[in-house]
Amino acid sequence: MAKPKKTPRPKAETPKGFRDYFGAEVTQRTEMLRAIAGVYHHYGFEALESSAVETVEALGKFLPDVDRPNEGVFAWQEFDENDKGDWMALRYDLTAPLARVYAQHRNDLPTPYRRFAMGPVWRNEKPGPGRYRQFYQCDADTVGTASMAADAEICAMLSDTLETVGIPRGDYLVRVNNRKVLNGVLEVMGLGDDQAARDNVLRTIDKFDKVGEQGVRELLTKGRLDASGAYIDGVGLSEDQAAPVLAFLTSKAADAAGTIANLRAAIGTSEMGAKGVAELEQIGELLAAGGYGSDRIEIDPSVVRGLGYYTGPVFEAELTFEILDDKGRKRQFGSVSGGGRYDDLVKRFTGQEVPATGVSIGVDRLLAALREKGRISAQPKGPVVVTVMDRDRMADYQAMVSELRNAGIRAEVYLGNPKNFGNQLKYADKRNSPVAVIEGGDEKANGIVQIKDLILGAQIAQSATLEEWKERPSQFEVPRDQLVAKVREILDGQG
Amino acid sequence: MAKPKKTPRPKAETPKGFRDYFGAEVTQRTEMLRAIAGVYHHYGFEALESSAVETVEALGKFLPDVDRPNEGVFAWQEFDENDKGDWMALRYDLTAPLARVYAQHRNDLPTPYRRFAMGPVWRNEKPGPGRYRQFYQCDADTVGTASMAADAEICAMLSDTLETVGIPRGDYLVRVNNRKVLNGVLEVMGLGDDQAARDNVLRTIDKFDKVGEQGVRELLTKGRLDASGAYIDGVGLSEDQAAPVLAFLTSKAADAAGTIANLRAAIGTSEMGAKGVAELEQIGELLAAGGYGSDRIEIDPSVVRGLGYYTGPVFEAELTFEILDDKGRKRQFGSVSGGGRYDDLVKRFTGQEVPATGVSIGVDRLLAALREKGRISAQPKGPVVVTVMDRDRMADYQAMVSELRNAGIRAEVYLGNPKNFGNQLKYADKRNSPVAVIEGGDEKANGIVQIKDLILGAQIAQSATLEEWKERPSQFEVPRDQLVAKVREILDGQG
């Protein structure tokens, strides 16, 4: 007789590229999202939570022309007896769903429609170190207006948001540029219609941050030797042709008026370019009227990141303080947010062009920045732990915990097997508890409790016996009715 | 030559059974989740956010023995050249992921592990009216302890949570029962081993809420005529056999001691039953020590919902106030939360039994209850709208909005085409704005602004001309530098 087949135990693992978030990681992100939502709401933006699942048709670009369209997205087919069920997929960003929502509900939504959205998105990509297939996005967009006031508002809101979550003025800068100015520059270079040459120039501009003015000049013309000694072919422009791009990239002056003047020179006679410069000027005026100076928001033509995706103004928020990288070298923390204007949001659905502008904040990077600066704790304090010396008096310990909680103090009773007191101390240690409360039979008889400051005692908690532990000067004996007052005093002293 | 194939426009629709949430629906749920998380955290519970995607293997019960295991879950196969990629699925609840997380991380987690989790879950079920395939769950569980103190704590926490989110004492009741007591009753009935008869009795008990004591008596014995006149066969027990079940279901007395005494009588000599009664007694003592009286939490053997899934204590929170149903009849609002003790949490993964107890709150039902009681608004106030009378003076309007925002007042400037003033009023109406600000050329010249109380003016906003609108007594003319003060005065007056 064959042996009965045993089902092997399932592996307790997340799927590849996914992870779990514990304790403070979750709580701090939730608090940050709440703070950001508060600012957005204050600016008149309304929350939107679209479903995590969209039809592949509505998401676009991932059409089910293969059996399983899982290029880039996680997708599956709705069950249908004739195998004709809709293909569905997890959203890969919050903008594609916004397009679908606006097209679907446009008759019920106000126009313009200011909305914010925050939540996980999913990418079917090869996972790598620090690269997950589920992560948070946090977006705000204004749909249905071409007014530069919408773009200026997004920049002001971004500035307020950064200060609200704990990045002080001076530690960040919102930088604004305009895609139309660059298009104007390409026009005066005589590349208005030459898509291949334009693409080459755009790719080169993207390297400005890395290789600087001289590097871009060489790459636009004859080419250059890179750091490894390899020769990189140039785009083949003449020095004269390359000049407007370089003038554009280096047009930042001491003040906005100077920058605007430099940009006007760079775009020469291009109408498109002039429009872009006028838009930047308008944004500058609106921000000045709102009291946002160049210490918070500035026009900076060297912002090239994302220029390719947008049709008008583009924004980027950078944290300007220095951190040490993996190799101990100083570098700026860098970008935590980006956005800009795009005009084809709902055209796929309705055929109409609807102008829109928006911004996305990298919440996880912002959290990392705050931890880096010590503004939020990587391992916050745990609850006060009431230990259990006598399992038959659980009700006594329960009463203590209730008193502490009612006084606003985070507290819990030890719920494991109380036999081994060392385990209770290890537990309190693992919980990062600031205070432990002890009431054995003697204490009970004498109407007192022992209260232990664990921040001082943490190092010896792993190995100490109860007796050693009681001898530490960080332990206090108080009458039972002073339990709450003494715990509060210790917590206050710990700061 | 064939016509170039035109791609048809995609439909702007959510997939079947999914929906979007707008504005206050999102904000109010977020606030409620925050309030609940605050209580859980105060009790020493830690947040956990597991990934939305799990392997089908880890989720269990949906094994990929068919090509696409989408029975109940949304699942897909990871791409792999040999078609051997893992099957993955969206989580269908928060308990299965907790089991996986605890098994995976048990060496790093404190024991006992108190955790809370909140977020969407997905069910691949046939959608229906009000029945969605994505919805929120909000759970708290304590893993790794058999102590009744853990169960008592969950009940106390549930009570605190309901009061914190806005259900006053007297409008809810947390009811506690114990599965072991029922098992004891089945034992004394002589059904300890007869699974078919046990199942019949359990199914009948589940009808207690509907048919009452006499109905259950008839269903357990000879059967009964239901409301429609159809005859329902009975289980076929004798009156004597049925007696312990009825004693159990009706054992609730004026106080906990009375109920406990009645239960002891119902379970007779059963050891299992005695254990269950002792557990209930212990929970009662612990809650009393914490100050939780029977006005908040009570032992109630008529709680049968969910008894089948749990192994010990079960809890249910009911809202006790009356609402009118669809047909205008009064009925109690009913259950908003349930939970209990279960012991096989991680056994699938590790082979070890790990005791656990927990609770799940129906956040959407709780929100519905608060709206029903008028404690949260179904349509909260929108932002103050600064209208645009002169598009060239956008900077002036921007400055007003900044002043209002800096004073803590939610405000926005109208960003649509300002030509038609009526559209601006319609917009303010759609936004549910409490106040509109107007500054035309005359006002500007005279250094004043018009401030309109829109709560009073809402009804005529749809059709009024600007002149009619200005004549309303709800409109105020104030010096420009009193803008913020006057807006605040109006907002305060609106309550």
Distance (Å, rounded) from C-alpha B310 to C-alpha B355?
Answer: 11
Structural element, H or E, at residue A339: strand A330-342
> What DSSP string runs through A55-108?
EHHHH-S----SSS--SBS-EEEPP-TTS-PPEEEE-SSSHHHHHHHHHHHTTT
Size of chain B, expressed as the number of residues it contains: 495
A382 touches chain B (CB under 8 A): yes
Structural element, H or E, at residue A122: strand A113-122
- Is A275 in a helix, a strand, or coil? helix
The alpha carbon of residue B371 is apart from the nearest alpha carbon of chain A, in Å, by 19
Point out the residue among A13, A291, A412 whose CB comes nearest to the CB of B44.
Answer: A412
CB hemisphere CA count around B372 (13 angstroms): 19
B window 329-368, beta carbon within 8 A of A: 346, 348-351
A54 touches chain B (CB under 8 A): yes
Task: Tell me if A30 and B26 make a contact (CB, 8 A cut-off).
Answer: no
- Whether B459 has a pLDDT exceeding 80, the answer reads no
At residue B12, the pLDDT reads: 95
At residue B344, the pLDDT reads: 80
The alpha carbon of residue B48 is apart from the nearest alpha carbon of chain A, in Å, by 5
Superfamily of domain A384-494: Anticodon-binding domain (3.40.50.800)
At residue A5, the pLDDT reads: 58
> What DSSP string runs through A178-235?
EHHHHHHHHHHTT-SS-HHHHHHHHHHHTTHHHHHHHHHHHHHTTEEE-TTSPEEEP-
- Is B366 in a helix, a strand, or coil? helix
Alpha carbon separation from A205 to A240, A307, A308 (Å, rounded): 16, 10, 11
B105 touches chain A (CB under 8 A): yes
Q: What are phi and psi of B175, to 5 degrees?
A: -110, 135
Mean pLDDT across the stretch B135-139? 95
CB hemisphere CA count around B70 (13 angstroms): 19
Which residue of chain B is at minimal alpha-carbon distance from A18? B51
Point out the residue among B76, B78, B415 whose CB comes nearest to the CB of A149.
Answer: B415
- Whether B333 has a pLDDT exceeding 80, the answer reads yes
- Whether B399 has a pLDDT exceeding 50, the answer reads yes
Point out the residue among A34, A48, A156 whose CB comes nearest to the CB of B34.
Answer: A34
Task: Tell me if B112 and A12 make a contact (CB, 8 A cut-off).
Answer: no
**Number of C-beta neighbours around residue A249 at 10 A:** 20
Domain spanning B24-52+91-372, CATH architecture:
2-Layer Sandwich (3.30)
- B341 touches B151 (CB < 8 A): yes
The tokens for B189 are 């009935």
Task: Tell me if B16 and A78 make a contact (CB, 8 A cut-off).
Answer: yes
Which chain A residues touch B13 with a CB distance below 8 Å?
55, 58, 100, 104
A399 touches chain B (CB under 8 A): yes
Residues in a beta bridge with A233:
A223
Task: Tell me if A410 and B41 make a contact (CB, 8 A cut-off).
Answer: yes
Which chain A residues touch B76 with a CB distance below 8 Å?
68, 70, 74-76
Say yes or no: ipTM exceeds 0.85.
yes
Alpha carbon separation from B20 to A102, A328, B445 (Å, rounded): 11, 46, 46
Which chain B residues touch A21 with a CB distance below 8 Å?
47-50
The alpha carbon of residue B207 is apart from the nearest alpha carbon of chain A, in Å, by 34
Distance (Å, rounded) from C-alpha B145 to C-alpha B149?
Answer: 9
Point out the residue among B46, B142, B431 whose CB comes nearest to the CB of A110.
Answer: B431
A window 14-53, beta carbon within 8 A of B: 14-16, 18-27, 30, 34, 37, 41-44, 46-53
Report the amino acid identity of residue B208.
F
Distance (Å, rounded) from C-alpha A457 to C-alpha A462?
Answer: 10
Task: Tell me if A286 and B149 make a contact (CB, 8 A cut-off).
Answer: no
- By the 10 Å C-beta count (0-12 exposed, 13-18 middle, 19+ buried), B229 is classed as exposed
pLDDT tens for B59-97 read 876 544 444 445 689 998 887 777 778 889 999 999 999
B431 touches chain A (CB under 8 A): yes
Task: Tell me if B430 and A44 make a contact (CB, 8 A cut-off).
Answer: no
At residue B472, the pLDDT reads: 60
Task: Tell me if A22 and B288 make a contact (CB, 8 A cut-off).
Answer: no
Task: Tell me if B382 and A431 make a contact (CB, 8 A cut-off).
Answer: no
Please determine whether the domains at A24-192+278-372 and A384-494 fall in the same fold group of CATH: no
The alpha carbon of residue A332 is apart from the nearest alpha carbon of chain B, in Å, by 30
Structural element, H or E, at residue A298: strand A297-299
Distance (Å, rounded) from C-alpha A345 to C-alpha B100?
Answer: 40
3-state helix, strand, coil in chain A (%, to 5): 40, 20, 35
A58 touches chain B (CB under 8 A): yes
Distance (Å, rounded) from C-alpha B358 to C-alpha B97?
Answer: 14
Strand ranges of the sheet holding B172-178, from the earlier edge strand across to the other edge: A21-22, B46-49, B113-122, B134-143, B356-361, B330-342, B313-324, B172-178, B297-299
Which residue of chain A is at minimal alpha-carbon distance from B28? A47
Detail the DSSP E strand segments found in B287-423.
297-299, 313-324, 330-342, 356-361, 384-386, 411-413
Angle ∠(A41,A45,A47) on CA atoms, nearest 5: 80
Distance (Å, rounded) from C-alpha B336 to C-alpha B367?
Answer: 10
CB hemisphere CA count around B404 (13 angstroms): 29
Which residues 6+ apart lie within 8 Å of B99 measured at CB? B345, B346, B348, B349
Which chain A residues touch B86 with a CB distance below 8 Å?
15-16
Which chain A residues touch B345 with a CB distance below 8 Å?
none
The tokens for B79 are 């791409």
At residue A255, the pLDDT reads: 87
Residue from A41, A51, A109, A404 to probe the interface with B (highest B Cβ count within 10 Å): A51
Point out the residue among A145, A291, A431 whose CB comes nearest to the CB of B110.
Answer: A431
Distance (Å, rounded) from C-alpha B369 to C-alpha B323?
Answer: 9
Kind of pairing, strands B113-122 and B46-49? parallel
Q: Which of A340, A343, A336 has its CA nearest to residue A321? A: A336
Choose the weakest-confidence range: A306-315, B180-189, B249-258: A306-315
Handedness of CA A402, A405, A407, A409 (dihedral sign): positive
**Number of C-beta neighbours around residue B217 at 10 A:** 21
Which chain B residues touch A24 with a CB distance below 8 Å?
47
Task: Tell me if B44 and A410 make a contact (CB, 8 A cut-off).
Answer: yes
Which residue of chain B is at minimal alpha-carbon distance from A400? B290
Which chain A residues touch B402 with a CB distance below 8 Å?
156, 289-291
Distance (Å, rounded) from C-alpha B181 to C-alpha B299?
Answer: 12
At residue A65, the pLDDT reads: 45
Task: Tell me if A58 and B394 make a contact (CB, 8 A cut-off).
Answer: no
Instruction: Return the DSSP state at A118.
Output: E
Task: Tell me if A290 and B401 make a contact (CB, 8 A cut-off).
Answer: yes
- Whether B306 has a pLDDT exceeding 90, the answer reads no
Q: Which of B366, B368, B347 has its CA nearest to residue B356? A: B347
Which residue of chain B is at minimal alpha-carbon distance from A285? B395
Q: Which of A145, A141, A183, A176 has its CA nearest to residue A282? A: A176
- Is A346 in a helix, a strand, or coil? coil
Task: Tell me if A120 and B52 make a contact (CB, 8 A cut-off).
Answer: yes
- Is A491 in a helix, a strand, or coil? helix
Which residues 6+ apart lie within 8 Å of B332 measured at CB? B318, B319, B320, B321, B322, B323
Task: Tell me if A26 and B49 make a contact (CB, 8 A cut-off).
Answer: yes
Which regions of chain A are under pLDDT 70? 1-7, 61-71, 192, 306-308, 457-466, 468-472
Distance (Å, rounded) from C-alpha B281 to C-alpha A151?
Answer: 64
Instruction: Please say whether the structural domain A24-192+278-372 has been given the CATH code 3.30.930.10.
Output: yes
Distance (Å, rounded) from C-alpha B203 to C-alpha A25?
Answer: 44
Domain positions in chain A are: 24-192+278-372, 384-494
CB hemisphere CA count around B308 (13 angstroms): 11
Structural element, H or E, at residue B483: helix B483-494
Distance (Å, rounded) from C-alpha A205 to C-alpha A245?
Answer: 8
A389 touches chain B (CB under 8 A): no
Choose the weakest-confidence range: A69-83, B226-240, B293-307, B356-370: A69-83
Task: Tell me if B13 and A286 make a contact (CB, 8 A cut-off).
Answer: no
**Number of C-beta neighbours around residue B488 at 10 A:** 16
Task: Tell me if A86 and B16 make a contact (CB, 8 A cut-off).
Answer: yes
Q: How far is CA A29 from the centre of its chain?
A: 9
Q: Quick one: angle between helices B271-289 and B179-188, nearest 10?
A: 150
Residue from B29, B31, B45, B49 to probe the interface with A (highest A Cβ count within 10 Å): B49
Task: Tell me if A150 and B74 make a contact (CB, 8 A cut-off).
Answer: no
CB pairs under 8 A between A and B: 305
- Whether B441 has a pLDDT exceeding 60, the answer reads yes
- Whether B310 has a pLDDT exceeding 80, the answer reads yes
